[in-house]
Amino acid sequence: MTVETGVGAGTAAQAAALLRTADAVRHRSGQLLERARRGDSRWFGVDDGALAVAADEVAALTKARFPDLDIPYHSRWRHFGAGEIDRRADLDSLLGTADGSERARAMVDLTVVSVLLDAGAGPDWGYDEIRDGRQIRYARSEGLGIASFHAFLAGTFSADRERPLQVDADGLRGLTEDTLATAFQVSQDNPLVGLAGRVTLMRRLGEVLASQPAMFGERGRPGGLFDVLAGSGTVAAHDILTLLLTALSPIWPSRTMIGDIALGDCWRHEAVAGPGLTAGWVPLHKLSQWMTYSLIEPFEWAGVDVVGVDALTGLPEYRNGGFLLDSGVLTLRDPQLAARTWSPSDEMVIEWRALTVALLDELAPLVRGRLGVDEQAMPLARILEGGTWAAGRATAQRLRAGLPPLSVTSDGTVF
């Protein structure tokens, strides 16, 4: 288990800085895993014997999906490629004579809004793409990715009609539910979970971008992150995460706060220890880490070397967590808990997500061993893609027609 390092925690700002690290995510998730193994969790048991079986399943699925083990990162760009269609090439073509930096900014713009719109869609929503005279329906993450991709191409997030292939503060602040509903083909027969929450998040993003012109430029573009981070030609993945968590923190609903600082995807759990004001807080930062993973490729395509990818953690969401439940690594102390609908702030959900982070770290070396590769060849970002996320989807489809094993309400800002 890792140890939290770096800053004190006596003030709200110091506490928030400590909780905005992957070390804190790992360390505190590890605390809850040790506690569950002792039998002290009121919610979950841990079957260590099932870890080997789970690793077998993930390794077999990874080998089946990627026989040469040439596995891309777990990234939003995988969803943009759904249906084996190279939509990145479409964007490249539309960007025309734009230079390398502007191409990178556009791809960062797209990635940021698309990831923030990636919370669970619900089982009844889908997006119909018409391509080469054929209509293909995509659902869940692929559908959300493709819907946001086409919304970006249409200039939905830009206030400048002459520059549709960008995201800017005014475009986001002017976004309405009707506009996003139209872009995402939402109707009474095609309902999207958390539509209002997604629009609120986009508007908040617009306000935050506009308030930091030194970072995001006069237009307030997320792509400003590229200019801030790419100057030396090398950037650490955790530096991308830190900047996202710091610069974008005001976008999150103020439901979890220390002082006047919104913590985002960070929750109270009485059993978690930590220094000063951080005691009792469990940071998870799923969307921010997912965004970081998804920004790696736009940086690399622009010639920037992204290092230290394994400093990030596994993603605490319902596919990875669902796989751990479905494979028997995690067990519910009371099976009736699966019949309830839960909130992200419920202790049971917080613990499920934290245990997912900690167990993915233990599962990863077992998978590598079965595939005969090392950490350098297969960082966690590739195991997730290979991998655990796909295994979670497969078991959910086999057991419950795609639904996760636990039902958690979504407002469009967590899952």
Neighbours of 228 (CB within 10 A): 15
Task: Give 413's pLDDT tier (boundaries 50, 70, 90).
Answer: low
pTM of the model: 0.93
Task: Give 123's pLDDT tier (boundaries 50, 70, 90).
Answer: confident
For residue range 181-236, what is the model confidence (pLDDT) as tens digits?
999 999 999 999 889 989 999 999 999 999 999 999 999 999 999 999 998 999 99
Task: Give 2's pLDDT tier (boundaries 50, 70, 90).
Answer: very low
| pLDDT value for 4 | 58
Q: Tell me the two tokens of residue 412.
A: 């469009």
For residue range 234-275, what is the model confidence (pLDDT) as tens digits?
999 999 999 999 999 888 776 788 988 888 899 999 999 999
Tell me the CA distances in angstroms from 405 to 23, 52, 269, 335, 347, one per residue in order: 28, 21, 22, 11, 17
| pLDDT value for 1 | 42
Q: State what percent of residues in the chain have pLDDT above 90.
A: 87
- Determine the average pLDDT of the residues in 358-364: 98
For residue range 70-98, what is the model confidence (pLDDT) as tens digits?
999 999 999 999 999 999 999 999 999 99
Per-residue pLDDT for 168 more than 50? yes
Contact residues for 391 (Cβ-Cβ < 8 A; gap 6+): 54, 57, 58, 61, 323, 327
378-406 burial: b if 16+ Cβ within 10 Å, else e:
bbbbbbbbbbbbbbbbbbbeeeeeeebbb
Of 2-6, 7-11, 281-285, 411-415, the range with the lowest mean pLDDT is 2-6
- Determine the average pLDDT of the residues in 382-405: 94
Per-residue pLDDT for 390 more than 80? yes
Task: Give 414's pLDDT tier (boundaries 50, 70, 90).
Answer: low
For residue range 133-155, what is the model confidence (pLDDT) as tens digits?
899 999 988 999 999 999 999 99
Q: Of 30, 39, 38, whose CA–CA distance to 2 is shortest? A: 30
- Determine the average pLDDT of the residues in 302-312: 96
Alpha helices in 251-406 (DSSP H): 286-301, 318-326, 347-371, 380-383, 389-400
Q: How far apart are CA 284 and CA 21, in angstroms?
A: 9
Contact 4, 276 (CB under 8 A): no
Contact residues for 2 (Cβ-Cβ < 8 A; gap 6+): 23, 26, 27, 30
- Domain segments of the chain: what residues? 12-408
| pLDDT value for 187 | 96
